[in-house]
Structure 1
Amino acid sequence: MGRPFRIRDIAVQAGLSETTVDRVLNGRAGVSVRARRQVEQAIVDLERQQSQIRLGGRTFVIDLVMQAPARFSSAVRAALEAELPGLRPAMIRARFDLTETATALELVSALDRIRRRGSHGVVLKAPDVPSIVAAVDRLVAAGIPVVTLVTDLPTSRRSAYVGIDNRAAGTTAAYLISQWLGPRPGNVLVTLSRESFRGEEEREMGFRTAMRRFAPSRRLVELPETEGLDETMHALALSALNADPALVAVYSIGGANQAIVNAFTTLGRDCAVFIAHDLDADNTRLLASGHLSAVLHHDLPTDLRRTCQAILQSHSALPGAPHSLPSAIQIVTPHNVPTHLP
């Protein structure tokens, strides 16, 4: 495999011992397939972050742990890696544990592994359930600060939450749908990936409360637990559309928007207004094609920069104490898509 980086750097990036890394690099026996994959991925990560490795200053290694569809976690990863070189004079390197369908137990195991091997901080997107809150508290007790991203764990000992005000985002979606539908009759499909994601729950609560005020006669049809995956969403959306011929608008909280568009197309139905979240590659394309009316977006590079700054503040490497600060909600239509996206 060669030695493009120091064994120590690879070991830290992979979360393995230097002895194990040495065995992998030299093709020795007694090494698991998983360890070999971890070393291979660590080298890939280090190559992506070479500009950071060349910098001077104190070195921090942080862990990004996310349960999210790959289209979103890859956008977050790209935004984080793009921000790392600008955080001088500190040198921050990132490790990644990204999954689409992990159980709470699997996420807890991932967090406990980080606690045992050590880290300077964890950036976390995970469901708000007691076992994950307890795992976060164990990390903090071990001196590892945690910053929640996009969806919060407010009862945990996390240092800060970075992301939009999700209740305000839901209210904004309700306002746009009620304004754009106007007097046209019809109901609204509301989709979530998981009800245990507090951010999604707050968006849904804000949306439902505002719709009662803006358009009390419209029925809201909710699709929970879709996982935000196209293969799950398509069948659920088809079923909902068949059950309610009056569905004419969508507020997609949890994603898988191409599958929703396909369901409308399959049935030859018109979607008058479609509001989604986040300018990932899928949503950018759906905006350009006119299938999405608007995307509620927040600037990921700014969010990831604030996240890293909060971790540095936790270690007194930057002045001030880490604190939560809501991100600005950007309403992006097909006519004002940002030209530079992570």
Structure 2
Amino acid sequence: MKHPYRIREIAAQAGLSEATVDRVLHERGGVRDSTVREVRQAIADLDRQQSQVRLGGRTFMVDVVMQAPARFTAAIKGALEAELPALRPAVIRSRFHLFDGPADLPGVLAKVGRSRSQGVILKAPDTPEVVEAVGHLGVPVVTLVTDLPTSKRVAYVGIDNADAGATAAYLVEQWLAERAGDVLVVRGRGSFRGEDERLGGFRAEMGRRAPNRRLLEVVDEEDRSVAVHERTRAVLDRNPSVRAVYSMYAGAGGNAAVVGAFAAAGRNYDVFVAHDLDDENTALLRTHAISAVLHHDLRADVRHACLAVMRAQGALPGRLRSNPSAIQVITPFNTPPVEF
């Protein structure tokens, strides 16, 4: 049982004799399992206390750089503000660089690199220019929700997007069962690896479970819900066999536009799986317009991102690693009362 503490310190923390602690540490036997757990807990407590001493009075300036719809960036800001008390005694100060649409992210990152930043939480498309800009930064970068695996980021936080896509395929097939029908797949524009991985996971699992089903894509190239409605309606008019929807779309009003397109065409669907429990999707869930939402705890993601920055700065012990979030399946019957 590795530790940097004196037996006297562990014994005092655990409320045990030094002889008992010595016996546990050297695995000599003759002690109860509960006593072993007490010694391990004492070491964990000492680790935490030591970390708090290192963090006490330290302030970390973290830049949050995100290209995402306004409703998502608002959720991230709220999640970070809610998590700040849990990060004490460290103090996190944040600067937000939020873009609801295309932006000069390499230029923004270069500006951040010239500031007194101590870390960056980044949601950005996986392009060579962004990857290169991350490489030029002299501070730790943590990617959020969508990854840049070939960049010099120190960790990724968020769900495993390929697994999320496979989960969506599983749910679609559970709902459709043996019924025939094709699947409408709705996604946004851009080169976000997260959406690419979701689509890849969905395609692979659907191919395994239902190789005869067609996947018909609607891609919003304009970030407009009106365009989503029009393109969905066009696909429905050409394909009377569509019976299911998987939406990775993050733009405001997008999923409501898909629901409206089905209604305008006088068509029904058997299952609609979407992502992220925002206000819009919550409302659609409660009216049963959406069957299920794949969600992850944004507060936990933001907390892990901040801890990764502090760990990269040497303020916390432990190995830096990516931290995938649990995929939560939210239905109309377990929708939480408070979103994000």
Q: For each residue in 1:165-186, what CA deviation from the matched residue of structure 2 results, as whole angstroms up to 9, or x when unmatched?
A: 1111111111110110112221
Q: For each residue in 1:196-219, what CA deviation from the matched residue of structure 2 results, as whole angstroms up to 9, or x when unmatched?
A: 111111110110011111111110
Per the alignment, residue 293 of structure 1 pairs with 291
Per the alignment, residue 12 of structure 1 pairs with none
Q: How does 1:1-342 map to 2 (within 5 A)?
A: 57-103=57-103, 106-139=104-137, 142=138, 144-194=139-189, 196-226=191-221, 229-255=224-250, 256-342=254-340
After superposing on structure 2, the runs of 4+ consecutive aligned residues of structure 1 that deviate more than 6 Å are: none
Contact residue 148 and residue 162 of structure 1 kept, 8 A: yes
1:192 partner SS: strand
Q: 1:229, CA displacement in angstroms?
A: 4.3
Q: 1:327, CA displacement in angstroms?
A: 0.7
2:112 and 2:276 map into 1 onto residues whose CA distance is: 28
The AA in structure 2 aligned to 1:208 is R
2:114 partner SS: helix
1:229 and 1:181 map into 2 onto residues whose CA distance is: 30
The AA in structure 2 aligned to 1:72 is F
Q: For each residue in 1:62-90, what CA deviation from the matched residue of structure 2 results, as whole angstroms up to 9, or x when unmatched?
A: 11111111121211111111111220011
2:162 partner SS: helix
Q: Percent identity?
A: 54
1:76 and 1:238 map into 2 onto residues whose CA distance is: 32
Q: 1:59, CA displacement in angstroms?
A: 1.1
Contact residue 61 and residue 116 of structure 2 kept, 8 A: no
The AA in structure 1 aligned to 2:195 is E
Contact residue 191 and residue 226 of structure 1 kept, 8 A: no
Contact residue 160 and residue 324 of structure 1 kept, 8 A: yes
2:134 and 2:289 map into 1 onto residues whose CA distance is: 39
Contact residue 311 and residue 322 of structure 1 kept, 8 A: no
2:240 and 2:255 map into 1 onto residues whose CA distance is: 19
TM-score of the aligned structures, taking structure 1 as reference length: 0.79
Contact residue 160 and residue 322 of structure 1 kept, 8 A: yes
1:315 and 1:138 map into 2 onto residues whose CA distance is: 17
CA RMSD across the alignment: 1.6
2:324 partner SS: strand
Q: 1:195, CA displacement in angstroms?
A: 5.2
Q: Which has the larger radius of gyration?
A: 2
The AA in structure 2 aligned to 1:269 is R
Q: 1:253, CA displacement in angstroms?
A: 1.2
Contact residue 298 and residue 328 of structure 1 kept, 8 A: yes
1:276 and 1:159 map into 2 onto residues whose CA distance is: 29
Name the CA shift for 1:243/1:195 in 2 (closer, same or farther; >3 Å): farther
The AA in structure 2 aligned to 1:280 is D
Q: 1:332, CA displacement in angstroms?
A: 0.6
Name the CA shift for 1:337/1:308 in 2 (closer, same or farther; >3 Å): same
Per the alignment, residue 23 of structure 1 pairs with none
Contact residue 112 and residue 135 of structure 1 kept, 8 A: yes
1:285 and 1:225 map into 2 onto residues whose CA distance is: 22
Q: For each residue in 1:113-153, what CA deviation from the matched residue of structure 2 results, as whole angstroms up to 9, or x when unmatched?
A: 111223111111111110000011111xx2x1100001000
2:126 partner SS: coil
Gaps of 5+ in 2: 1-54
